[in-house]
Structure 1
Amino acid sequence: MKAEAWVFGITALFVAVVTPAYWFLSEDWTGTSALTMTALLFGMVTLYLGFHASKMDARPEDRKEGEIAEGAGELGFFPPYSWWPLWCALALGVIVYGTALAAWWLVFIGFTIGAVVSCGFIFEYYRGEHAH
């Protein structure tokens, strides 16, 4: 994770250097605020990754003498296809559309559909073909 911390740290440093230059060239409060927050968020991620990199054992890709075979094995669970994100997006679309039209009955319907669809999305691996 040291490599990731370096990438985020260099990016935070770059954005921190660019922010005052942006302010002097444009005098735009919005962009300057966004760049400042970006630098702070990159710095926060850098601190997090650096802290955890110092506490954990080096991964094979972090060591110069690391071998490819050392990284073999299960990398994690990667879910197969799922239709639930589509239905979640449609429910959110109904909510946003109802809000834009000030049709609060449509917003209520969207939240109801969203609650059902969210439950389906959360519990999709507890039943059916891909149950654990």
Structure 2
Amino acid sequence: MSKKKNLGDDFSFPKFKGVNGIKSPKRSLLPKPPLPNIEVLELSLPHSITGIIKQAITQKRLIEFYYQGLHRIAEPHILGLKDEAVQVLVYQIRGKSSSIKLPDWRRMNVDDMSGLQIFDETFCHKPSSLYDCHSSWDEIIAIVS
């Protein structure tokens, strides 16, 4: 009886050419300098977060997001700067809240928000007098009109 040699699986890996086995990139991975005559936004946050909030404010659409670990659904009313922080004033209508009282006004730091999405559901403009308790802004970027 002859024994068959067990060849097993071939787990060999191809050897790369280059310095110390590391393959050299075909193109540079360094960031390219900005093109001339292009305005660079000075906000340190990703443009998509503030862009989504501005779009939701313009279209009066609800936003869904997480803030301080809690799932929230709210109407965004004002996006602005206060003490060099980008903040949004929302009227939270659903989700969870540490204060339990809903619906209610909330002013939140945008950089602490995550999972931000726009709903198809719209909301009605509330009178600006309702903003009074949250009216102190250094600069307003977008406001419901």
TM-score of the pair, normalised by structure 2:
0.18
Q: Which has the larger radius of gyration?
A: 2
- Which structure ranks higher in relative contact order (CA pairs < 8 Å, sequence separation ≥ 6)? 2
Q: Per residue, is there more strand in 1 or in 2? A: 2
Q: Per residue, is there more helix in 1 or in 2? A: 1
TM-score of the pair, normalised by structure 1:
0.19
